[in-house]
Amino acid sequence: MYDMSRYARQIVFPEWGAKGQTRLQNSRVLIVGAGGLGSRQAELLARAGLGFMRIADDDNIDLTNIQRQALYNESDAMQNLPKVEQLKIHLGEINHEVAIETARQRVDKFNIHNLAHDVDLIMDGTDNFPSRFLINDYAVKNKKPWIFGGAIGAEGQTAVFRAGGNPCLRCIMDAPSAACGENSCRSAGIFGPVVSAIASLQTMEALKILSGSAPAENYLIKINFWMGGIQRILLTGKVLRPDCPCCMKKEFEYLDD
């Protein structure tokens, strides 16, 4: 039984209402990555009353994760437990009404279709651009919305990407940067509040999309949390690259290589 009373503080918001809550209950999301971004997205979506989430990650919990990765604790780290399995347990303690499916695997070109074909939205909780470009290729090819997010040091950025005349990630970031690799947090550092804030922005856009309550942001948002600077780059047709290998040429190299 889906208990609407637990979501009373959302439902009373005029732009959301019972209609938005019901739509969220009937929505399905894939979260790629169960680290700093993904674990926080999963927690916020579970608390909000998402109907179904699938979480994919092949990593285990270690002590360095606790500083920024929501819900994991010292006991999880000392036992080096799988992130997705512990996240499912902790999320179940928060909201047993959410159906949670886990995939203890790294998302790649061989499994992304099985993981994403039946969801309404893909959430980026990854830590590297090859994985994000893979999600981008799949989302453009299959006309699924996805929400990009990244955080390093005291900086973060996020954007919503949708097919149909809108720019894709490759239009604005054509090639992976060495500075944004999966080892970058070890060398450049990362603050917990930065990760939480970017994941929260991503999740708010997800709620707007899934509930149909409001149009999602049409900006790439960049924030320097140390200096307090915010940059918003409008993502319109003008940003579309005529030579974009993904949304214009339909080459989908990260799916097909």
Measured at the alpha carbon of residue 145, what is the angle toward residues 131 and 93, in degrees to the nearest 5? 80
**4-256 CATH:** 3.40.50.720
3-state DSSP assignment of residue 78: helix
Contact 130, 39 (CB under 8 A): no
- Cα–Cα distance measured from residue 114 to residue 117, given in angstroms and rounded to the nearest whole number: 6
Query: Which residue in the block uniquely carries the two structure tokens 């097909």?
Result: 256
pLDDT of the residue at 3: 84
Domain limits, the chain: 4-256
The predicted-structure confidence for 81-113, as pLDDT tens digits, reads as follows: 999 999 999 999 999 999 999 999 999 999 999
Nearest C-alpha neighbor of 131 from the set 218, 242, 240, 35: 35
- Model pTM greater than 0.85? yes
What mean pLDDT, rounded, does the chain reach? Answer: 93
Greater pLDDT, 215 or 101 = 101
The predicted-structure confidence for 220-243, as pLDDT tens digits, reads as follows: 999 999 999 999 999 987 788 999
Residue 189 has pLDDT above 70, yes or no: yes
Q: Which residues contact 56 (CB under 8 A, 6 or more apart)?
A: 30, 31, 32, 33, 34, 84, 102, 103, 105, 106, 107, 111, 115
Please give the structure tokens belonging to residue 239: 């940003």
Residue 257 has pLDDT above 90, yes or no: no
Query: Which residue in the block uniquely carries the two structure tokens 């209950």?
Result: 25
Residue 211 has pLDDT above 50, yes or no: yes
